[in-house]
Amino acid sequence: MNYFEKLNNVNVNDKTEERSGLTYLAWAYAWGELKKLYPMSFYTIYENAEGRFYHHDGKTAWVKTGVTVVDGELKLEHTEYLPVMDYRNKSIPVDSVTSFDVNKAIQRSLTKAVARHGLGLYIYAGEDLPEVERAEEAPKKVPKKVPANIVKQRNDELKALLTEKGKTMEDYKSLAGDKTVSNMTGQEYLDWFKQLKATWQ
């Protein structure tokens, strides 16, 4: 198992927190886990030409960090750029940036740079578990039951579309196959309806 696989298999779920709909991994934990496995590893905070720990284009600012994993003869750096953002995850105008904002951005950027080496990477891919545990658990997705009134509304819309386009249920079934509107999410149904309209133009 190479260094990336070893880091990628670490389950960090109990060290994360939710803020503004996003999942965050604590910087101290990410760095601590990395150093336990690869104690010679180090990080770099890149300064701008003015000697500041953030960069800007005159409008907004960002930080650049790098994490270098040292494993025997291996010495590999991954860098990460991250905007300096407020609590809503919106870029802060450069004139309003404070040292506190920059420090938070640096910590988040370093955590993401660590993730590029594997630790907690699955968080940024929208997953819940590292690969090993996903394979072991293999959870089954249970489709949410669509309310009867929504199913009826969808069926009425489809019948109206069939009439408008001069199509029959056989025409519909030849395209739908095993699809059923009672198991579709709202977005899946909208996409399916658009697909039908485009097909039957």
pLDDT digits (tens, 9 = 90+) for 16-30: 887 766 778 889 999
pLDDT digits (tens, 9 = 90+) for 157-182: 888 888 888 888 888 888 888 778 88
On whether both 163 and 123 belong to a single domain, the answer is no
As a whole number of angstroms, the distance between CA 184 and CA 18 comes to 28
On whether both 71 and 122 belong to a single domain, the answer is yes
| Residue that is last in its domain, among 104, 137, 170 | 137
On whether both 118 and 163 belong to a single domain, the answer is no
Residue 135 CA: distances (Å) to CA of 49, 90, 125, 138, 140: 47, 36, 16, 5, 12
On whether both 128 and 163 belong to a single domain, the answer is no
Provide the domain limits for residue 128: 3-137
Closest CA to 118 of 46, 67, 43: 67
| Residue that is last in its domain, among 137, 157, 179 | 137
Specify the pTM: 0.62
On whether both 23 and 71 belong to a single domain, the answer is yes
Domain assignment present for residue 143? The answer is no
Domain assignment present for residue 102? The answer is yes
pLDDT digits (tens, 9 = 90+) for 79-129: 999 999 998 889 999 999 999 999 999 999 999 999 999 999 888 776 555
Domain assignment present for residue 82? The answer is yes
On whether both 95 and 16 belong to a single domain, the answer is yes
Number of domains in the chain: 2
The number of angstroms, rounded, from the C-alpha of 144 to the middle of its chain's C-alpha atoms is 22
Domain assignment present for residue 80? The answer is yes
On whether both 60 and 83 belong to a single domain, the answer is yes
On whether both 13 and 69 belong to a single domain, the answer is yes
